[in-house]
Amino acid sequence: MSSLWPRIEPLLAGVEKPARYIGMERGSLAPEHRPDAVAWLLVYPDTYEIGLPNQGLQILYEILNERRDAVAERAYAPWVDFEAELRAHDVPLFSVDTHRSARDFDVLAFNLSAELVFTNVLNCLDLAGVPVRAECRAVADLLVIAGGHCAFNPEPMADFVDAFVIGDGEEAAGEVTEVIAAWKRGGHVGGREAVLHDLATVPGVYVPSMYEVEHDGPRVVAITPRYPDVPERVDKRTVADLADWPYPKRQLVPLIEVVHDRLNVEVFRGCTRGCRFCQAGMITRPVRERPLDQARTMIVEGLRRSGYDEVALTSLSSADFSGIDGLVASLVGEQAGCGNVGVSLPSLRVDAFTVGIASEIQKVRRTGLTFAPEGGSWRIRQVINKLITEDDLYAAVEGAYSQGWRRVKLYFLVGLPTEMDEDTLGIAELARNVIAVGKRHTKQASATVSVGGFVPKAHTPFQWFGQNGVEELRRKINMLRDSLRKSSAQVRWHDPEASFAEGIVSRGDRRIGRVIERVWREGGTFQEWSEHFRLDLWLDAMAAEGLDPAWYVTRHRTEDEVLPWDHIAAGLHRDFLWHDWQSALAAHGLPDCRWTPCYDCGVCTDYALEHVVASPVPPAGGSQGTGQDLSRGGSVPVALLPARSAS
């Protein structure tokens, strides 16, 4: 296994950003490959700048390299200029750590964080010299594994991926390694069928070839296992205690500018706010907080090792972290032992952001502030269960502008269930009022209004909803732009055509795999990038396969319909999701279940958790959308029972 670097280096002179491909970052590893170790090539199917900061990939990179029976390296999707050079000179996909050929590895593992990168996965497989379709692979070919949030509907990629890891990967990666290592030691006895069968018995691992899909016309009517020891339903993996997994310990520091270019420390995982549009909040339940002392240690050591002077406290709602006030205060002061540090809270709940937090953050530098009301009216926010009032929003931006911020970013969705024009125009009214609040503090006050088209996701209460079509989304965006034309608000929006293509894939069944392959073969890579996205490729591919885009995208599902992802279990009872969908249609919101009696969503029952009713107020205070001025109280978090581990 020799390095391809002598063949790669001459090709870099003619590409846009050669530093994407050279490795050598602070924190990177050059593991020694051994015959008895399973070699993983961890691939993020987008550019280096997008993929390097991905925490999931970095965590697995470290965990696997700490094992005696595994080594792991990294790769990223080559940009179109470098791909052309690789193909012209017959150079395969390679790792950036030691520049080994992908063919020298046992496993090609992809992080699937967005549906429109799926064509890049196929491109990377082809560049690696691996048959794109799983059924065409021989014993000597790499095993192809995938995980990430998009794996919760694995069917569109079922023709190409040998095995999916559903949920948290920290523990599952080791168990998958053990299965593959045993197969290698045994001389690959039984071929790929044998190892795939064994992988299908690992909790949380879905192997598509072990299941038969039955159709009645266009509908999926059953997905059944081929063997009696293969589970009918694949339950997600859940790491019970984040304290056991203080990763990444050595965050990679890139040589070029990347997105989220700062130290990133996960302070908790999961969310119980119950936003009905949010797949991440649904599939990552329950909430598991990292111990405050461990979080502080990870931050201090990470800053010292990386040289960064800014840290992002990552989670789905960072201001909900129990010790957020004290943690932020210690970081921006001298107590942390690392000097003044800029703090970024990339996921801010409006009703959890306080003047105190704003005051602490701005002591070093005013990092960007993005608030996500999501809906323009109180009615639509009750529909989507984003229970923040106008007063919550104005109090939050008051805190920001009063501490010296001149611009805030507001994020909204359009095309939500039951949405009417007054809900859409409510976005403009909120934006104008936010700017008016800011102008009480500075004449330069402004706001950026970012608008995305809503795409329903699997395992959410909105999975039965048929999304708005392209023209309807475009009409709503134009109406909003016209309403804000003479204001100090800058409007940005996601392309409605890209939202439609995303809907094809995210709502798709196994037949959509043929569509993805056609789009790729027509040159449709980097579909997440506006300069490369082409809806016509998707529509032409659907037509060629005899599939109706509207049937997948804009059609409402019925209660008794078998959904393509019903055999994948995110921990949420199907009847809970259906009843929550009915509550949404009735514009009935449900407060965060950490501070109320249990709603019996299924997570606490299935994952051996005890739901402990807390005091009536969350740690950060706030109304939880009730409009009440509740006094601050202590809390008792959801407790993990020691009787059963997540494995």
pLDDT of residue 339: 59
Residue given tokens 């279940």 in the structure block? 593
Residues 346, 370: contact at Cβ < 8 Å?
yes
Residues 584, 384: contact at Cβ < 8 Å?
yes
Over residues 240-261, the mean pLDDT reads: 95
Check pLDDT > 80 for residue 439. Answer: yes
Confidence of residue 343 (pLDDT cuts 50, 70, 90): confident
Q: What distance in Å separates the CA atoms of residue 54 and residue 326, rounded to the nearest whole number?
A: 27
pLDDT in tens, 352-387: 776 667 677 776 666 668 899 999 999 999 999 999
Count of residues for the chain? Answer: 647
pLDDT of residue 645: 30
Could you say which of 193, 210, 235 is where a domain stops?
235
Residues 55, 22: contact at Cβ < 8 Å?
no
Residues 273, 284: contact at Cβ < 8 Å?
no
Q: Omega of the bond prior to 286 within 30 degrees of 0, cis?
A: yes
Residue with the bigger pLDDT between 225 and 613: it is 225
Check pLDDT > 50 for residue 240. Answer: yes
- Written as one letter, the residue type at 551 is W
Cβ atoms within 10 A of the Cβ of 229, count?
10
Work out whether the CA dihedral 392, 394, 398, 404 comes out positive or negative: positive
Whether 282 is covered by a domain: the verdict is no
Nearest CA-CA partner of 274 in 557, 596, 613, 568: 596
Question: DSSP per residue over 495-553, as a string?
Answer: -HHHHHHHHHHHT--TTHHHHHHHHHHTT---TTSTTT--HHHHHHHHHHTT--HHHHH
pLDDT of residue 326: 85
Question: Residues 230, 373: one domain?
Answer: no
pLDDT in tens, 3-21: 999 999 999 999 999 999 9
Whether 518 is covered by a domain: the verdict is no
Q: What distance in Å separates the CA atoms of residue 69 and residue 43, rounded to the nearest whole number?
A: 20
Residue with the bigger pLDDT between 518 and 318: it is 518
CATH of the domain at 405: 3.30.750.200
Q: What distance in Å separates the CA atoms of residue 284 and residue 265, rounded to the nearest whole number?
A: 17
Report residue 451: phi and psi, to 5°: -125, 130
Nearest CA-CA partner of 75 in 549, 54, 276, 494: 54
Check pLDDT > 60 for residue 638. Answer: no
pLDDT of residue 127: 98
Work out the percent of the chain whose per-residue pLDDT is above 90. 80
Least confident window among 151-160, 301-310, 608-617: 608-617
Check pLDDT > 50 for residue 88. Answer: yes
Q: Which helix or strand (DSSP H or E) is residue 222 part of? A: strand 219-225
pLDDT of residue 635: 31
Confidence of residue 626 (pLDDT cuts 50, 70, 90): very low
pLDDT of residue 624: 42
For 181, the token pair is 């290592």
Check pLDDT > 50 for residue 640. Answer: no
pLDDT of residue 597: 82
Cβ atoms within 10 A of the Cβ of 445, count?
21
pTM, 2 dp: 0.93
Whether 42 is covered by a domain: the verdict is yes
Q: What distance in Å separates the CA atoms of residue 137 and residue 141, rounded to the nearest whole number?
A: 6
pLDDT of residue 609: 56
Work out the percent of the chain whose per-residue pLDDT is above 70. 90
Over residues 477-489, the mean pLDDT reads: 96
Residue with the bigger pLDDT between 5 and 327: it is 5
Q: Provide the 3-class DSSP secondary structure of residue 313.
A: strand
pLDDT in tens, 266-285: 999 999 899 999 999 999 99
CA distances from 479 to 421, 424, 472, 491 (A): 9, 8, 11, 11
Q: How many domains does the chain have?
A: 2
pLDDT of residue 324: 86
For 392, the token pair is 């919550």
Residue 325: is it exposed, middle or buried by C-beta count within 10 angstroms (0-12/13-18/19+)? middle
CA distances from 429 to 33, 299, 489 (A): 60, 39, 11
Q: Provide the 3-class DSSP secondary structure of residue 448.
A: strand
CATH of the domain at 78: 3.40.50.280
pLDDT of residue 599: 86
Q: What distance in Å separates the CA atoms of residue 372 and residue 390, rounded to the nearest whole number?
A: 12
- 451 forms beta bridges with 412, 493
Check pLDDT > 90 for residue 243. Answer: yes
Least confident window among 235-239, 261-265, 640-644: 640-644
What one-character DSSP code corresponds to residue 435? Answer: H
Q: What distance in Å separates the CA atoms of residue 117 and residue 113, rounded to the nearest whole number?
A: 8
pLDDT of residue 601: 92
pLDDT of residue 644: 28
Could you say which of 556, 572, 590 is where a domain stops?
590
- Written as one letter, the residue type at 570 is A
* DSSP-H helix ranges across 586-634: 603-606
What is the residue-averaged pLDDT of the chain? 90
Over residues 549-563, the mean pLDDT reads: 97
Q: Would you give the end-to-end CA distance of the chain in angstroms?
A: 35
Whether 243 is covered by a domain: the verdict is no
Q: Which helix or strand (DSSP H or E) is residue 221 part of? A: strand 219-225
Confidence of residue 537 (pLDDT cuts 50, 70, 90): very high
For 404, the token pair is 């010296």
- Written as one letter, the residue type at 243 is A
Q: What distance in Å separates the CA atoms of residue 151 and residue 132, rounded to the nearest whole number?
A: 18
Work out whether the CA dihedral 570, 574, 579, 581 comes out positive or negative: positive
Whether 603 is covered by a domain: the verdict is no
Q: What distance in Å separates the CA atoms of residue 397 and residue 389, rounded to the nearest whole number?
A: 13
Q: What distance in Å separates the CA atoms of residue 209 and residue 215, rounded to the nearest whole number?
A: 16
Least confident window among 242-256, 307-321, 592-606: 592-606
Whether 195 is covered by a domain: the verdict is yes
pLDDT of residue 366: 62
What lies within 8 Å, CB to CB, of 47 at 6+ separation is: 20, 76, 77, 79, 526
Whether 56 is covered by a domain: the verdict is yes
Over residues 519-532, the mean pLDDT reads: 98
Confidence of residue 614 (pLDDT cuts 50, 70, 90): very low
Check pLDDT > 70 for residue 531. Answer: yes
- Domain that includes residue 95, residue range: 5-235
Whether 85 is covered by a domain: the verdict is yes
Residue given tokens 């500075």 in the structure block? 442
Q: What distance in Å separates the CA atoms of residue 267 and residue 323, rounded to the nearest whole number?
A: 10
Over residues 46-57, the mean pLDDT reads: 98
